[in-house]
Amino acid sequence: MEGATIDVRLVITLAGIFVSVVSAAAIARQQIKQIEVTVNDFEQRLRELDRRVDRSESGIGVHEQRVQVLSGMMSPETQERKAREVADLQARITVNERAIQALQRLHNGSHPQVPHK
């Protein structure tokens, strides 16, 4: 009988170990699923961050180009050239105004009759 009780104890112990292993496997499976969900969430967030970074980088590139264009337009050399052009135009306007005034003085607003032949 003693051999039978050892066998029963052994069977109970083995059954307990089996139940422990099965329950541990079930718990591990559940934790693995939870980890997979978390990893998928992280991947989605990372992809969204990558898209946002890409949009930001392209926007920065556009702004850099605009700043380069504006800096070229506002460079001292360009401003100096434009100032010379404006000064030249103002000088021409002054000369033209004087010429117009001289012509108006010559004409004096009267229109003499021109004889017909």
d(Cα 14, Cα 69) in Å, to the nearest integer?
81
Q: Write down the pLDDT at residue 51.
A: 96
CA distance 66 to 60: 10
Tally the C-alpha atoms within 13 A of residue 29's C-alpha that lie toward its C-beta. 6
**pLDDT single digits (tens) 77-86:** 999 999 999 9
The token pair that represents 106 in the structure block: 């010559």
User: Low-confidence residues of the chain, pLDDT below 50?
Assistant: 1, 3
CB 38 within 8 Å of CB 32 = no
